[in-house]
Chains A and B, each alone.
Chain A
Amino acid sequence: MNRAADALAPARRSGILSTWFALHLGTAVSALGRVARQPFASLMTILVIAVTLALPAALHLVIKNAQAISGNWANALDFSVYLKKEVSEKDARQLASIIDQRADVEQVTFISADEALAEFRERSGFGAALDQLTSNPLPHTLVVRPGASSTAQSMILLNEELSNLPETEFVQTDTDWVRRFHAILDILERATFIGAALLGVAILVIIGNTIRLDIQNRREEIEVTKLIGASNAFVRRPFLYTGLWYGLGGGLMALALVGYGLYALEQPVARLSGLYNSAFSVLSLDLRESLLIVGAGVLLGLVGSWIAATRHMRRIEPR
């Protein structure tokens, strides 16, 4: 007898599973139908969610692009090697060509003391004061541009070796401000994260409120289903799916908004980077980031509707 029951068990279990699946599918589809039947109201809700999700996503993209651009700058960062006063122009030129041979150096530009003075005179507006000088106070300078493949490590090494040359007075690098810029970007990124968390709470409220109205409108239906023996989970389920659809719709529309923003910025950015002779192009959201946004929408939709449904459903008991 037991054997017969065992034989039946798997069939029954798969039956329960397919019934369960059919029930969920049916609930999901009818919830989607409900959302679609009020296109304007639903679109408003989805749009608010989309904008709320798109804001931090866009800010994140700005930071990500700023990091990419300044990353390029750091790599292409030139060393200014100021030579000692006693180094002659001829020796300096020779040194420039020696440094130029190095594998980790892309290019060396020689700026003689006279050129430097002329440039300084032109740019600083101290022309008259400089005329008072009897001799040129400026040294010869080599502007060393590291190779494209150089890493932070190799840059430090190059810096050290250039500093240790007997002709070198000192080597100046402009990485400090890049480091500061990155620190600022880090702060901005964290602020974006905090902002995103707050906006996430806003989405919970938006979805919660929409579901609350939905529950009020379907009060009679909830009462009747409870009267004929529906559990709270059964009554809650359609509202969870409604929240899920809103969240999914909001997430997808947020991606569309960000995508459209990028599309609109593509031309001006290309023109600007063209002016800088740079091949920079705007970075968009990668797959992981896109999934994160849609996932956040879905999760917030589910959590928001769960909270609202659980809270408001309890109060609806059959009369």
Chain B
Amino acid sequence: MIRIEDVTKRYPTGQAALKNLSLTVEKGEMVFVTGHSGAGKSTLLRLIALIERPTSGQVIVDGQNTRRVSRRKIPAYRRQIGMVFQDHRLLYDRPVFDNVALPLVIAGIAQREAARRVRAALDQVSLLHKEKQLPETLSSGEQQRVGIARAIVSRPKLLIADEPTGNLDPDLSLEVMRIFRRFNEVGVTVLIASHDIALIDQLGCRRIPLVDGSLQTDEDDDVVAEYVEQLESERARSEWP
């Protein structure tokens, strides 16, 4: 589904966010990209969503080389991918229903069909009863579920999520991850960037660990182990009564 071939992404400042990265995500897989902040997780997702283009190398998504997607074709390309963001990125001036319907409105789906699909999507994230509310009146976890409903309403084959549980407490995080898991079980390829290693271990999915813009090698293990230890002690501290 996703093939990253020898991709380097260098920013104008000269700093390389990704260095000669190669990886593959198969159709129907659910994969986590892990690593501490600055490791290049977000950059990888941004390359897949064509928010940015690689400095060198190929990004191939569902058989399409993103290099060959012209500026004008980017909107159509993005419509094939469901995207979930850490800060939800909902439109706060309109109710939940309209937020979820937006991708279908953009795609020009007829109103009746769109309404049916929006309700189905909201039902899958258990928010059907809140379709008329404004996002502001919802909790953070509920807002994230609205974001997920919006990402899956147009039935994409690929779902990508950047730190979808970054702002949520552990219980809500697990719930959100379970929602992703359910979509994965019906055939959607899911790629999630997250640093919540304990949570990922619970789900038992494949991990793509990134360190400084490259795949983690054995030498990096010490660094990562240290990082994991630090994270877990933080978690333990926060869970203290």
Label chain A's interface by main secondary structure.
Answer: helix
**Cβ contact within 8 Å between A229 and B111:** no
- Distance in angstroms from B187 CB to nearest chain A CB is 21
**Cβ contact within 8 Å between A227 and B49:** yes
Residue with the greatest number of chain A CB neighbours at <10 A, chosen from B75, B83, B102, B107: B75
Give the residues in chain A near B110, CB-CB below 8 Å: 15, 18-19, 22
Contact of A228 among B76, B108, B109, B150 (CB under 8 A): B150
Which B-chain residue is minimally distant from A230 (CB atoms)?
A: B106
**Cβ contact within 8 Å between B51 and A227:** yes
Once the chains are docked, how many angstroms separate the CA of A16 from the CA of B107? 11
Once the chains are docked, how many angstroms separate the CA of A23 from the CA of B78? 20
How many chain B residues touch A (CB < 8 A): the figure is 23
Asked whether any CB of chain B lies closer than 8 Å to the CB of A288, the reply is: no
Give the residues in chain A near B150, CB-CB below 8 Å: 228
**Cβ contact within 8 Å between B75 and A19:** no
- Distance in angstroms from B144 CB to nearest chain A CB is 15
Q: How would residues 70 to 91 of chain B score, 1 for a CB under 8 Å from any chain A CB and 0 otherwise?
A: 0000011111000100000111
Q: How would residues 130 to 172 of chain B score, 1 for a CB under 8 Å from any chain A CB and 0 otherwise?
A: 0000000000000000000011000000000000000000000
Given known contacts A19-B111, A318-B51, A319-B51, is B106 in contact with A225 (CB within 8 Å)?
A: yes
- Distance in angstroms from A295 CB to nearest chain B CB is 30
Which B-chain residue is minimally distant from A37 (CB atoms)?
A: B93
Asked whether any CB of chain B lies closer than 8 Å to the CB of A73, the reply is: no
Which B-chain residue is minimally distant from A19 (CB atoms)?
A: B110
Given known contacts A221-B91, A318-B51, is B78 in contact with A227 (CB within 8 Å)?
A: yes
Asked whether any CB of chain B lies closer than 8 Å to the CB of A224, the reply is: yes
Given known contacts A318-B51, A319-B51, is B107 in contact with A229 (CB within 8 Å)?
A: yes
Which B-chain residue is minimally distant from A227 (CB atoms)?
A: B83
Which B-chain residue is minimally distant from A30 (CB atoms)?
A: B94
Once the chains are docked, how many angstroms separate the CA of A124 from the CA of B106? 84
Given known contacts A225-B102, A231-B75, is B49 in contact with A19 (CB within 8 Å)?
A: no
How many chain A residues touch B (CB < 8 A): the figure is 23
**Cβ contact within 8 Å between A228 and B111:** no
Contact of B103 among A18, A23, A229, A317 (CB under 8 A): A229
Give the residues in chain B near A229, CB-CB below 8 Å: 75-79, 103, 106-107
Give the residues in chain A near B75, CB-CB below 8 Å: 226, 229-232, 234
Give the residues in chain B near A231, CB-CB below 8 Å: 75-76, 106
Asked whether any CB of chain B lies closer than 8 Å to the CB of A260, the reply is: no
Which B-chain residue is minimally distant from A317 (CB atoms)?
A: B51
- Distance in angstroms from A315 CB to nearest chain B CB is 14
Closest 10 CB pairs of A and B: A229-B79, A229-B78, A231-B75, A19-B110, A230-B106, A229-B75, A224-B89, A228-B103, A318-B51, A221-B91
15 more contacts with CB within 8 A, not counting A227-B78, A228-B78, A229-B75, are A16-B108, A19-B111, A20-B108, A22-B110, A23-B105, A23-B108, A220-B89, A221-B93, A223-B89, A225-B106, A227-B89, A229-B107, A230-B75, A230-B106, A232-B75
Query: Which residues of B approach A to under 8 Å, CB–CB?
Result: 49, 51, 75-79, 83, 89-91, 93, 102-103, 105-111, 150-151
Query: Which residues of A approach B to under 8 Å, CB–CB?
Result: 15-16, 18-20, 22-23, 220-221, 223-232, 234, 317-319
Chain A to chain B contacts (Cβ below 8 Å), 11 pairs: A20-B108, A22-B111, A23-B108, A225-B91, A227-B78, A228-B103, A228-B151, A230-B106, A234-B75, A234-B106, A317-B51
